[in-house]
């Protein structure tokens, strides 16, 4: 069997518990992503989403298991994987251009200054910030700061983009615009994206697959929702698609009840669930069977 582009194989993360012993955030987690896929992860706080992302980024280590990308196990951070931080992570003493150039010159260390700047300006133009190159982050609005973060991530032409709730700190209007832009950019460049979000609508609008994680500790990937919406979707039309509300209801049901009671759900007789291959469900599809057991 050919391996997927990104293959998370049985990873676990444990922390020393305050009263001795160890707390398991999650263990034996399996998940795969193909090249060019946009995957959103949804789950309550504390389920280890960010830990998974940090492991993918190489900022955190697994206690067990491994993540294999393109046939190679992850060993620390890499310029092939760009991270967009929730708190944008811009260096406040550098200008917009300085922040992006810093990333560019980190990737191509032998480039002359002029070439670095030209490349950085191109990335800044992609996110629509031309004219703000010489501003410091403190002079920018929240949405513009996040754009700079996106420009910085794009500028190094990564193979994978990792986003940790990139739009959660923004107002609804800005968030919508940025979602459109990110979706456009990722589709045009064929990016593989792993994104964490709390926003169900955001996940449905952006993702090809939505990973549902149960509550921690000992969080699991309960299901993977294959998004039935067409790849060509527009913000104004998505909610009119017949599958939109079934998907949305399915995810919200999961967040409200099933994420908490998933272990009890599994204990029901006849319920089959495999850690290594969490079920892929497509709510709203004609042949979609409802989950075998509904939580009460």
Partner 1 sequence: MTRSIGARAFVLSLVILAIFLAAWHVAVGSGGGGGGQVVDPEYAKLVGAAAATGGQTPMPGPIDVGKAIWKHLSDPFYVRGTNDMGIGIQLAYSLVRVLIGFGIAVAVAVPLGFLIGMSPLIYRALDPFIQVMKPISPLAWMPLALYTIKDSSLSSIFVIFICSLWPMLINTAFGVASVRKDWLNVARTLEVGPVRKAFTVILPAAAPTILTGMRISVGIAWLVIVAAEMLVGGTGIGYFVWNQWNNLSLTDIITAILLIGLVGMVLDQILARLTRLVTYPE
Is residue 142 part of the contact set for partner 1 (CB under 8 A)?
A: no
Least distance (Å) between residue 183 CB and partner 1: 22
Q: Which is nearer to partner 1, 81 or 147 (CB)?
A: 81
Q: Is 136 in the site for partner 1 (CB under 8 A)?
A: yes
Rounded distance, CA 46 to CA 37, Å?
25
Nearer to partner 1 by Cβ, of 50 and 259: the residue is 50
Among 74, 83, 185, 221, binds partner 1 (CB under 8 A): 83
Find the shortest distance in angstroms from Cβ 83 to partner 1. Answer: 5
Identity of the residue, 127 or 140, whose beta carbon is nearer to partner 1 in the bound complex: 140
Residue among 164, 255, 272 nearest 215 (CA): 255
Q: How far apart are CA 164 and CA 84, in angstroms?
A: 6
Q: For the chain, what's the residue count? A: 296
Quote the least distance from Cβ 164 to partner 1, whole Å.
Answer: 10
Closest distance of CB 92 from partner 1, Å: 4
Tokens 């501003």 -> residue: 135
# of chain residues touching partner 1 (CB under 8 A): 23
Asked if 111 touches partner 1 (CB under 8 A), the answer is no
Residue pair 248/258 in contact by the 8 Å Cβ criterion: no
Q: What are the b/e assignments for 23-42, b being 16+ CB within 10 Å?
A: ebbbbebbbbbeeebbbbbb
| Options 8, 39, 53, 103; binder of partner 1; rule CB under 8 A | 103
Query: Cα separation of 245 and 8, whole Å?
Result: 30
Closest approach of Cβ 194 to partner 1, in Å? 14
Q: Give the separation between CA 256 and CA 245, rounded to whole angstroms.
A: 16
Cα distance between residue 203 and residue 78, in whole Å? 26
102 or 245: CB nearest partner 1: 102
What is d(CA 234, CA 198) in angstroms, rounded to the nearest whole number? 21
How far apart, in whole angstroms, are the C-alpha atoms of residue 132 and residue 273?
Answer: 51
- Which stretch in 91-99, 115-123, 179-187, 279-287 sits in contact with partner 1 by CB under 8 A? 91-99
Q: How far is the CB of 170 from partner 1 (least distance, A)?
A: 17
Residues that bind partner 1 (CB under 8 A): 57-59, 76-79, 81-83, 85, 87, 89, 91-93, 102-103, 106-107, 136, 138, 156
């Amino acid at each position: 069997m050919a391996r997927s582009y990104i293959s998370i194989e049985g990873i676990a993360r444990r922390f020393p518990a305050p009263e001795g012993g160890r707390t398991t955030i999650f263990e034996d987690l399996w998940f795969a992503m193909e090249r060019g896929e946009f995957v959103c992860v949804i789950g309550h706080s504390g389920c280890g989403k960010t830990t998974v992302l940090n492991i993918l980024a190489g900022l955190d280590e697994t206690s067990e298991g491994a993540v294999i990308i393109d046939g190679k196990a992850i060993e620390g951070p890499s310029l092939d994987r760009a991270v967009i931080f929730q708190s944008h992570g811009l260096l406040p003493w550098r200008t917009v251009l300085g922040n992006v150039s810093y990333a560019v010159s980190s990737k191509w260390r032998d480039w002359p200054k002029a070439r670095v700047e030209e490349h950085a300006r191109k990335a800044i133009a992609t996110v629509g910030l031309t004219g703000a190159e010489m501003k410091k982050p403190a002079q920018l609005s929240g949405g513009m700061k996040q754009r700079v973060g996106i420009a910085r991530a794009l500028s190094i032409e990564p193979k994978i983009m990792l986003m940790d709730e990139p739009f959660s700190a923004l107002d609804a209007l800005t968030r919508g615009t940025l979602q459109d832009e990110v979706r456009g950019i990722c589709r045009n460049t064929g990016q593989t994206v792993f994104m964490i979000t709390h926003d169900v609508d955001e996940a449905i609008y952006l993702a090809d697959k939505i990973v549902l994680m149960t509550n921690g500790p000992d969080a699991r990937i309960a299901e993977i929702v294959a998004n039935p919406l067409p790849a060509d979707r527009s913000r104004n039309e998505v909610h009119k698609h017949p599958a939109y509300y079934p998907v949305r209801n399915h995810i919200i049901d999961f967040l409200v009840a099933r994420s908490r009671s998933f272990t009890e759900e599994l204990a029901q007789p006849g319920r089959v669930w495999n850690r290594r291959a969490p079920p892929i469900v497509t709510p709203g599809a004609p042949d979609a069977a409802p989950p075998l057991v509904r939580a009460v």
